[in-house]
């Protein structure tokens, strides 16, 4: 049964549209989908995340992400990131460089414009598919296939709210063709992200932040992620999330020091896949260096 699901999983990726790696804690990992986010927190930010999806299902997605972004002066932000995504017999590495430029729109708000340049390296291990015909040309020469791309985004934010629109990859590439049939198709992904922070008490010790991420890609259903997080004393975070027609999630986080934050999420499927796996786990660490004012930009929700 596990082998059957491995083949089905690969066919769903290869036969239709490739989607970017998905994250439950997207509100902390915005740099991967929107280059305009670079430098928006006002300090050098180092971020690392690991996600294992559908635990117990052979060939299920496994994703690692690492990024660094920082402001340069008052208006410019720079960032670099690496995402490794393993699905069944495939292994992808995506390396990106981000540039943003910000302008003030009011005393408390800024609007940022960003561009992203990326390089994708794709590997396929045909032995994991166990094809009947080992010499089938469709499963040959899929080693370190290189594809460049470019993306862009806009990001408006204050200390309490944010909204962003982005397309991380503008170039749609049929990278692996056989007799004019695309074996693996790289589609355009469109993102909308938004959130707002509410102070629930007079002393601002309890904060509530609803957040939303929508993703649209040709050949796949519209993906909608909604989350609700509570922060207590700027230290502890708990919350829930829902991925439309896919999963429900529990989230938790802890501000270990002024610069170090730890986050965790657990996803449980709401589809028939729930019968074949024990859920998905996602954990990240974010470390930020103090800015020139000796503090981290607040709130720490995004």
pLDDT tens for each residue of the chain, 302 residues long: 444 444 444 444 443 445 678 899 999 999 999 999 999 998 999 999 999 999 999 889 999 999 999 999 889 999 999 999 999 888 999 999 999 999 999 999 999 999 999 999 988 777 776 666 555 555 555 677 888 999 999 999 998 999 999 999 998 876 555 555 555 567 889 999 999 999 998 877 999 999 999 999 877 888 999 999 999 999 999 999 999 999 999 999 999 998 899 999 999 999 998 999 999 999 999 999 866 544 455 545 77
Of 135, 164, 139, 140, whose CA–CA distance to 152 is shortest?
Answer: 164
- Residue pair 302/28 in contact (Cβ under 8 Å)? The answer is yes
**Which distant-in-sequence residues (6+ apart) come within 8 Å of 70 by Cβ?**
38, 39, 43, 44, 45, 77, 78, 79
62/71 Cα distance (integer angstroms): 31
User: pTM for this structure?
Assistant: 0.86
Beta bridge partners of 178: 181
| Per-residue pLDDT, 122 | 87
The whole-angstrom distance between residue 156's C-alpha and the CA centroid of its chain comes to 19
Of 237, 264, 195, 210, whose CA–CA distance to 23 is shortest?
Answer: 264
Fold of 21-289: Porin (2.40.160)
Cis peptide bond prior to 299, omega within 30° of 0: yes
- Sequence length of the chain is 302
Query: For tokens 């008490």, what's the residue?
Result: 201
Pairing between β-strand 260-269 and β-strand 173-178 as defined by DSSP bridges: unpaired
* Domains of the chain by residue range: 21-289
Q: Give the alpha-carbon dihedral of 161, 261, 248, 83, to 10 degrees.
A: 90
Cβ density class 26-42: b for 16+ within 10 Å, e for less: bbbbbbbbbbbbbbbbb
Backbone angles phi, psi at 127, to 5 degrees: -65, -25
Beta bridge partners of 230: 208, 238
Neighbours of 197 (CB within 10 A): 22
| Per-residue pLDDT, 140 | 59
Neighbours of 73 (CB within 10 A): 8
| Per-residue pLDDT, 126 | 73
| Per-residue pLDDT, 8 | 43
Of 168, 189, 9, 3, whose CA–CA distance to 81 is shortest?
Answer: 168
As separate numbers, helices (DSSP H) first and strands (DSSP E) second, the chain gives: 1, 17
Pairing between β-strand 62-72 and β-strand 45-52 as defined by DSSP bridges: antiparallel
- Helical residues (DSSP H) of the chain, grouped into ranges: 2-14
Pairing between β-strand 260-269 and β-strand 280-288 as defined by DSSP bridges: antiparallel
**Which tokens go with 178?**
């056989």
Of 169, 74, 69, 164, whose CA–CA distance to 115 is shortest?
Answer: 169
């Amino acid at each position: 049964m596990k082998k059957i699901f491995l083949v089905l999983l690969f066919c769903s990726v290869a036969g239709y549209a490739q989607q970017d790696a998905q994250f439950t804690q997207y509100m902390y990992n915005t740099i991967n989908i929107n280059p305009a986010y670079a430098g928006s927190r006002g300090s050098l930010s180092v971020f690392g995340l690991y996600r294992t999806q559908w635990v117990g299902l052979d060939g299920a997605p496994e994703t690692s992400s690492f990024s660094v972004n920082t402001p340069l002066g008052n208006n410019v932000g720079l960032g670099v990131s690496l995402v490794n995504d393993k699905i069944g017999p495939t292994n992808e590495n995506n390396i990106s460089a981000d540039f943003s430029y910000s302008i003030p729109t009011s005393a408390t708000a800024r609007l940022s414009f960003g561009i992203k340049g990326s390089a994708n390296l794709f590997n396929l291990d045909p032995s994991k598919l166990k094809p009947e015909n080992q010499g089938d040309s469709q499963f040959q020469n899929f080693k370190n296939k290189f594809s460049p791309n470019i993306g862009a985004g806009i990001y408006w934010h204050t200390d309490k709210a944010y909204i962003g629109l982005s397309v991380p990859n503008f170039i749609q590439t049929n990278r692996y063709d056989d007799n004019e049939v695309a074996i693996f198709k790289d589609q355009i992904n469109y993102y909308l992200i938004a959130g707002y922070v509410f102070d629930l008490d007079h002393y601002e010790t309890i904060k509530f932040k609803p957040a939303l991420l929508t993703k649209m890609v040709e050949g796949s259903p519209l993906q909608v992620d909604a989350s609700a997080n509570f922060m207590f004393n700027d230290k502890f975070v708990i919350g829930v999330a829902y991925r439309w027609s896919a999963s429900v999630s529990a989230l938790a986080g802890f501000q270990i020091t002024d610069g170090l934050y730890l986050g965790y999420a657990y996803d449980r499927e709401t589809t028939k896949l729930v019968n074949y796996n024990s859920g998905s786990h996602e954990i990240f660490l974010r470390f930020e260096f103090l800015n020139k004012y000796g503090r981290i930009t607040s709130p720490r929700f995004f």
